Amino acid sequence: MKNVQNIISFLSVRIKRDRLNFIRASKVFATILFLISFGLRAQGQTATTTTLTSSPKPSCLNEPVILTATVDQIGATGNVHFWEGPVLLGNGTLDIKEIATLTISNLSAGNHSITVVYDGESPFNGSSSAATQF
């Protein structure tokens, strides 16, 4: 935030000193405000890969199944969402090991295709796993 204040101060002095640069300075100022308001950073975001595992394999009807989502970047934080097709099974929050779990015990009999989606949290991009069949 201190850098932003320095930039604003610089632009203010520049505008007062040279009115011809007003339009150019105001465009820069508007761009800075846009970046601040949307929480974006000038640096690039880091790509992530999200994987999903389940246990036990195979599982029985009404037996608890633990779904485990892992994001491959050290320091990744934020939320993940476990989906079976268009149905949200539940949410989880990454722990300090970049892992989130969800225990479910009400899956119907038969095959299931589950996907996990990581929202991403700056400076990490979101990602989703391949569908896991069980």
Which tokens is 90 given? 């539940």
Spell out the per-residue pLDDT of the chain, length 134, in tens.
555 565 566 555 555 555 555 455 555 545 555 555 455 443 579 999 999 999 988 788 888 999 999 999 999 999 999 999 999 999 999 999 999 999 999 888 888 899 999 999 999 999 999 998 87
21 CA to centre of own chain: 39
Paired with 87 in beta bridges are 84
pTM of the model: 0.66
- CATH code for the structural domain at 50-133: 2.60.40.10
**DSSP secondary structure letters along 101-131:** EEEE--PPSS--EEEEEE---TTB--EEPPP
Residue type for position 124: F
pLDDT reported for residue 15:
54
DSSP H helical ranges for the chain: 2-17, 22-37
pLDDT at 40: 46
The domain ranges of the chain are 2-37, 50-133
